[in-house]
Amino acid sequence: MTQVLFYGCLFITFSPILAFFFMVIAKNSQLVILTIGGSFFWLVSILISAIWWYIIPPMREQWWFIISFSVLFQEIFRYIFYRLYSYGFNDRPSLNQIKETRHQMALDSMRKRKQQNGGSSSNEIESINNEINNNNNNNNNDDDENKEITEEEKEKIKIEKQKQREIEISARLETLSARPNHTLSSAAIGVGSGVAYGFIMFGSILWESTGPGTLFSPACPTVNLFMLSSIITLFMTLLHVVYNVLAFQGYRSKKYHLVAFVIITHFVTTYLTLLNLPTKTTSCFGSVFTVGVITLFSVGFCIFSLLKSDSITKIH
């Protein structure tokens, strides 16, 4: 019986986000790496807030205190990850742009070669190629001139080798930095933090649900704790994706009202879950429903702002 509860809650919480992951993000390996980075940074933020919670014993039950600091730490780490991401990917072209540029260059060069005389230009190109090949190889022995190596040339070769090595390393780092689409990247990072949130906050207790017996929510004693948690976690994971897309867009194009929207929504939703406490103003339906409404609204707002800033296009 409890196995049914386990699988039900598991699928309720994780289906949308995992479906999004496997259909969109898993197709592109760079996005997967960004997802792992996103969950790492979220994890660090939640560890710091856990440490903060732990070392102030008198405030452990004051939820308003803990929630505000936790949300603050998460947003700070989102900003830190944005800085890291923009430092890495700021003035690199995306892979599509590189491909398109090469395509254009190829087309133009073909056009130019057709216009010029075929013989002379290709010979010139071949000789330039050979020279560059010789310069760029460490121990290239294709040329016959390099057979006799004197002392000076050995020195020169050594210096060239060192320079070459440095150029190689920087070239490798350069080509490592073609980036995917910004919107997709921020969505991938959001999926990372959402999945990390889901697994850590909810997955930890989910395993306990397979034991004998079950727990009931403190606010509404007739509702299963795991059910309620799974629905709210579903909303929160989707919200994490939305937060990330909006926040990165705001940081990137300096539209800080988007960032303010993210922070305010994050605070509002987490404070709404305070309604789950068994106090006077308790209502589990209130919290779940309101959080759901806010989720829908945020998703709509996210799509709207993406359309408005031309990151996505509506086709019919």
Partner 1 sequence: MSGSESNNNLFEQNEEDNDYFNRVSTNSSPIRNSVNASPKQSSSYSSSPKSNNNNNNNNNNNNNIILDLNDDTFDDKEHDDSIGKNSNKNKRNKRNNSIDNEEADENTSLISDSEPLLNKEEKDVEQIEIENLDGEDYDDEVSLQDFSSMIVSIIIPVSLTMMAVVYFVKYLNDQTTYASTLSYSLTGGGGGGGDSITGNSFVDSLIVAGTVLGMIIVTTVAFVLLYKYRCLKILYGWLFLSVGMMLGSFGTTFFQAMLSASNLPLDYITFAFLVFNFTVCGIIGVFWYAHQYVNQLYLVIISVLMAISLTRLPQWTIFTLLVIVAIYDLFAVLCPRGPLKVLVELSQERNENIPALVYETGKGSDSNLKLGLGDFIFYSLLISRAALVHMSCVFSTFVAILTGLFLTLLCLAIFKKALPALPISIFLGILFYYISDNFLTPFIEALTLSQIFV
Q: Which is nearer to partner 1, 15 or 96 (CB)?
A: 96
**How far is residue 102's CA from residue 85's CA, in Å, rounded to a whole number?**
25
Burial 43-80 (b: 16+ CB within 10 A, else e): bebbebbeebeeeeeeeeeeeeebbebbbbbbbebbee
- Token pair of 48 as six digits: 């710091």
Binding range to partner 1, per CB under 8 A, among 6-14, 144-152, 292-300, 301-309: 301-309
- Token pair of 81 as six digits: 């990850």
Of residues 227-256, those binding partner 1 (CB under 8 A): 228-229, 232-233, 236, 252-253
Q: How many CB atoms lie within 10 A of CB 245?
A: 28
Query: Is 257 among the residues that bind partner 1 (CB under 8 A)?
Result: no
Q: Which is nearer to partner 1, 15 or 109 (CB)?
A: 109
Of residues 265-284, those binding partner 1 (CB under 8 A): 269-270, 273-274, 276-277, 284
C-alpha dihedral sign at 227, 233, 238, 239 = positive
Binding range to partner 1, per CB under 8 A, among 3-11, 63-71, 257-265, 294-302: 63-71
**How far is residue 261's CA from residue 258's CA, in Å, rounded to a whole number?**
5
Q: Which is nearer to partner 1, 5 or 24 (CB)?
A: 24
Query: What DSSP letter does each residue of 240-259 carry, written as one string?
Result: HHHHHHHHHHHHHHT-HHHH
- Token pair of 54 as six digits: 């732990």
Binding range to partner 1, per CB under 8 A, among 1-9, 75-83, 198-206, 240-248: 198-206
Of residues 115-154, those binding partner 1 (CB under 8 A): 122, 125-126, 128-129, 132-133, 136-141
Residue among 20, 45, 40 nearest 184 (CA):
20
Of residues 83-122, those binding partner 1 (CB under 8 A): 86, 90-106, 108-110, 112-113, 122
Binding range to partner 1, per CB under 8 A, among 3-11, 20-28, 76-84, 149-157: 20-28
**How far is residue 224's CA from residue 241's CA, in Å, rounded to a whole number?**
27
Q: Is there a contact between 27 and 33 (Cβ–Cβ < 8 Å)?
A: no
Q: Which is nearer to partner 1, 8 or 252 (CB)?
A: 252
Residue 29-58 contact track with partner 1, rule CB under 8 A, x = bound: xx-xx--xx-xx--x--xx-xxx-xx----
User: How far apart are CB 249 and partner 1 at their closest, in Å?
Assistant: 9
CA dihedral of residues 71, 33, 244, 51 (deg, nearest 10): 0
User: How far apart are CB 4 and partner 1 at their closest, in Å?
Assistant: 18
Q: Which is nearer to partner 1, 15 or 142 (CB)?
A: 142
Of residues 155-194, those binding partner 1 (CB under 8 A): 161, 165, 167-184
Query: Is 204 among the residues that bind partner 1 (CB under 8 A)?
Result: yes
Q: Distance of CA 28 to CAs 23, 24, 90, 313, Å?
A: 10, 8, 20, 21
Binding range to partner 1, per CB under 8 A, among 10-18, 225-233, 240-248, 292-300: 225-233
